[in-house]
Amino acid sequence: MSETNTVPVRKKRIYSGIQPSGMLTLGNYLGALKNWVAMQEEYDGIYGVMDLHAITVRQEPAKLRQQIYTTCALLLAIGLDPAKSILMVQSFVPAHAELAWILGCYTQFGELSRMTQFKDKSQKHPENINAGLFTYPALMAADILLYQADLVPVGADQKQHLEITRDIAVRMNNLYSGLFTVPDPYIPPAGARVMSLQDPAKKMSKSDENVNAWVAILDKPEDVMRKFKRAVTDSEARVCVGEGKDGVNNLIGIYAAVTGRTAQQIEAEFEGKGYGDFKTAVGEAVVETLRPVREAYDRLIADKGYLMSVYKEGSERAARLAARTLAKVRKKVGFVLEDK
Ligand code: ATP
Ligand code: LTN
């Protein structure tokens, strides 16, 4: 009997990142992090703590360093498994900065000027509209293209950055064939844009000064409940998706993302019930989702040695993968080669 020759299929590769710029929110969790974990079996995942990106906004050094540790601990607490995925720190792999410079020379001023994140952050920090904030997308493109990623799981706000990454990849491939894999975004069907609980026209953001507007992944259960009970809704008192019902739409979206139910099932569940019952149910479901994360986090943050070993080893593995792409790029653009 002849043996069938099975050729191992290369798993598709994922790259994604998060900035260590503060306490991570329920928006970060539902829009991005939850999917990183869900996808780690099927894909070959590399996940970064993006400290180079974080300094596009002024950070306090001691606080930033602490946030890099807490972000790493949180990523492990939500279930990222270093045996399955790579966890890296962006500044540990200098290839990111090097490729960002090269890609920046193939990115147009006009393209960067159209980025809504640049416009938003310039408005928010008028005293510090720095060059890094402007060229941010070239660094993000470098993060992704260095690893020849097929898929990038992000929240809906990052769609424009994925589009410019694809444009840069296609442009470089047209000039120097076969250089980069052109990545696709993965934006989840529920939870891709979690809105502020106080102003549901705005994205939930960790930098919002009103603490009732956002839920941190590490918030205590009583704080989570309080924030949901105070969430802004409307005067209609009907739990259903609708125009002009941004607050309720947002709560339905959050409930759908944490329970896996559809909007129709949720509307049926709360038929004839008021917003009080609904808000309590959403709060409780979020508390139960976050409880195991908080417990695991408390254990992990106490063991700094372990944390450091994980991101150091992950960054070394990432650096070896990144070096291959960078060598190819250096050769194609015409730099002199080390061995010739
Ligand atoms: P900052 O406000 O400091 O720019 P951020 O939370 O927007 O921070 P990151 O921490 O880098 O930015 O975001 C990590 C991931 O979380 C990204 O994929 C982003 O799309 C996603 N994300 C952020 N906020 C939300 C939200 N409100 N809803 C859904 N996804 C979100
Ligand atoms: N800009 C992203 C964070 C980020 C990222 C990346 C996401 C930096 N580099 C590479 C995916 C892939 C944000 O969420 N603000």
| pLDDT of res. 22 | 85
| pLDDT of res. 208 | 87
Q: Whose CA is nearest to atom 5 of ligand 2?
A: 17
| pLDDT of res. 3 | 53
**Catalytic choice (11, 12, 121, 304):** 121
Low-confidence ranges of the chain (pLDDT < 50): 1-2
| pLDDT of res. 230 | 97
Cα of 150 to ligand 2 centre, how many Å? 15
Rounded to two decimals, the pTM is 0.94
Active site residue 203: yes
pLDDT digits (tens, 9 = 90+) for 167-191: 999 999 999 999 999 999 999 988 8
Mutate to test the pocket of ligand 2, among 13, 15, 16 (most ligand atoms within 8 A of CB): 16
Query: Measured from the CB, is residue 141 less than 6 Å from ligand 2?
Result: no
| pLDDT of res. 191 | 87
Pocket of ligand 1 (CB under 6 A): 18-19, 21, 27-28, 31-32, 154-155, 157-158, 192-194, 203-207
Could you identify the atom of ligand 1 that is nearest to the CA of residue 195? 27
| pLDDT of res. 256 | 96
Across the chain, what does the average pLDDT equal? 95
| pLDDT of res. 75 | 97
Mutate to test the pocket of ligand 2, among 15, 36, 50 (most ligand atoms within 8 A of CB): 50
| pLDDT of res. 4 | 61
Q: Could you give the CA distance from residue 149 to residue 105 in angstroms, rounded to a whole number?
A: 21
